[in-house]
């Protein structure tokens, strides 16, 4: 997966040996024979191609082809890409704000990051980018396509999009901007349940969540109320910093493994543990929402909380980006991005290409559609009978208030284009209801 906002790289050093190849005599001879073949082809091209060729360009092309035989995430990084890669994961830069990958040679949008130029322009998850400024993306590597989408601040890029269910190519003109992302959006819902949407795992994401929890706890305490639960929304979160995935998980876990890696060498296993220090919410009822665009760090958090039975995971199966990339410097200006391992959940489950399967599978239906299509039936209740006996004596003022609320509720409608309201989101509604049942089950247990 590649992103124009945040990456999901584990930056590390690779101990490389550039000496004689290791292996049996036969394998060494085969390697030298293949290297000789490569050298012959390069020499043949340089001597006989009908135009003068750039030797550096030729070698770089060979290296890119070499890396493309491995997997979509491994790549040779020329000086331009290598330099710009250092800008990722800082939370502020010029760009579009889309997470992309490559499938069957087609550039595919995993998710547009909320409040970024791509999001505002109307780019959707699942869109296929087939043109960049009028040039076809067919045949481009993932890094080459991403490089073409980069540009100067406030410059405009034109993307040609193929979208399922839409005939022809749909064109979008998007202005590149300095993207400043506050990693969370939050709202206190009914019944003292906190909704937190984590947009990306950038620096200090966990601190933002903790501050939101503390703020709402304090506000509720002033009114002699408690925080009764939390919904952590990781839908369409493309990932980001591994350290922040550990930090977010550590808010809700006491100890243990958050994530480990499985690499070529079993002895080189890396393990990331729950942080003992910092704010802890070990008993707060928790629901985590994920979908097919939740990737990388999102899947690490969801997998850890699921393995420890610390949260109920709801939504749809996540993207399945569970491989670990490292960047190795091979010259002063160039590098190689190489897949070196796979992420494992605390119970040893692999994420790569499998994703995290929710405990409760829940389609993302439009809330208005649900309201419109739900089967409803009117019942005559005791309170509808004329001169019915009330449980308590209702004053005229209370009666007027009750009737006023009833009428207001009956005629209230949600307008299209209104700012996102968590409880107008079907999956959030269901998560909210789920948390409300926790108290019921606690009462049953205590009996």
Active site (catalytic) residues: 296, 307, 321
Q: How many whole angstroms from its chain centre is CA 323?
A: 14
Spatial separation of the C-alpha atoms in residues 107 and 183, rounded to whole Å: 26
Residue length, the chain?
447
| Residue 4 DSSP SS3 | coil
CA distance 67 to 117: 31
**Pairwise CA distance, residues 72 & 61, whole Å:** 16
What are the angstrom distances between the C-alpha of 215 and each of 186, 191, 199, 210, 224?
11, 16, 20, 9, 14
| b/e burial code for range 142-157 (CB count within 10 A of at least 16 → b) | bbebbbbbbbeeeeeb
DSSP label at 234? -
Number of H helices, E strands in the chain: 11, 20
Task: Sheet containing 184-189: give its strands across.
Answer: 184-189, 193-198, 229-233, 286-290, 312-315, 360-361
Contacts of 351 (CB under 8 A, 6+ apart): 299, 300, 303, 318, 320, 321, 322, 342, 343, 344, 345
């Amino acid at each position: 997966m590649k992103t124009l906002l945040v990456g999901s790289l584990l930056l590390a050093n690779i101990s490389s040996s550039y000496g004689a190849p290791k292996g049996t005599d036969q394998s060494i001879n085969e390697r030298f024979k293949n290297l000789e073949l490569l050298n012959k082809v390069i020499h043949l091209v340089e001597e006989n191609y009908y135009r003068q060729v750039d030797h550096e360009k030729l070698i770089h092309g060979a290296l890119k082809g070499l890396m493309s035989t491995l997997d979509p995430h491994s790549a040779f990084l020329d000086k331009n890409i290598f330099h710009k890669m250092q800008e990722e994961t800082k939370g502020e830069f010029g760009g579009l704000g889309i997470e992309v990958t490559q499938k069957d040679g087609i550039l595919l949008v995993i998710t547009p990051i909320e409040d970024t130029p791509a999001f505002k322009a109307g780019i959707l998850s699942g869109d296929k980018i087939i043109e960049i400024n009028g040039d076809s993306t067919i045949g481009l590597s993932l890094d080459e396509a991403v490089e073409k989408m980069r540009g100067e601040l406030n410059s405009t890029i034109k993307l040609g999009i193929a979208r399922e269910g839409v005939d022809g190519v749909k064109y979008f003109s998007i202005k590149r901007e300095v993207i400043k992302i506050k990693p969370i959006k939050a709202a206190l819902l009914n019944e003292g349940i906190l909704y937190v949407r984590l947009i990306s795992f950038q620096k200090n994401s966990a601190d933002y969540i903790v501050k939101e929890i503390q703020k709402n706890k304090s506000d509720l305490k002033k009114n002699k109320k408690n925080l009764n639960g939390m919904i952590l929304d990781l839908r369409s979160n493309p990932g980001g910093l591994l350290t922040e995935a550990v930090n977010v998980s550590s808010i809700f876990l006491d100890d243990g493994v958050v994530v480990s890696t499985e690499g070529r060498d079993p002895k080189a296993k890396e393990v990331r543990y729950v942080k003992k220090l910092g704010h802890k919410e070990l008993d707060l009822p928790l629901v985590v929402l994920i979908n097919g665009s939740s990737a990388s760090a999102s899947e690490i958090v969801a997998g850890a909380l699921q393995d420890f039975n610390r949260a109920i995971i709801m939504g749809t199966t996540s993207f399945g980006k569970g491989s670990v990339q490292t960047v190795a410097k091979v010259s002063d200006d160039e590098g190689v991005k190489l897949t070196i391992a796979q992420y494992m959940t605390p119970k040893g489950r692999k994420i790569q290409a499998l994703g995290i399967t929710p405990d409760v599978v829940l389609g993302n239906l439009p809330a208005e559609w649900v309201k419109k299509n739900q089967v409803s039936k009117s019942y005559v209740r005791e309170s509808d009978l004329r001169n019915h006996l009330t449980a308590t004596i209702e004053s005229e003022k209370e009666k007027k208030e009750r009737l006023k609320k009833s009428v207001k509720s009956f005629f209230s409608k949600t307008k299209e284009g209104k700012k996102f309201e968590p409880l107008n989101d079907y999956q959030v509604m269901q998560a909210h209801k789920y948390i409300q049942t926790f108290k019921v089950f606690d009462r049953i247990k205590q009996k």
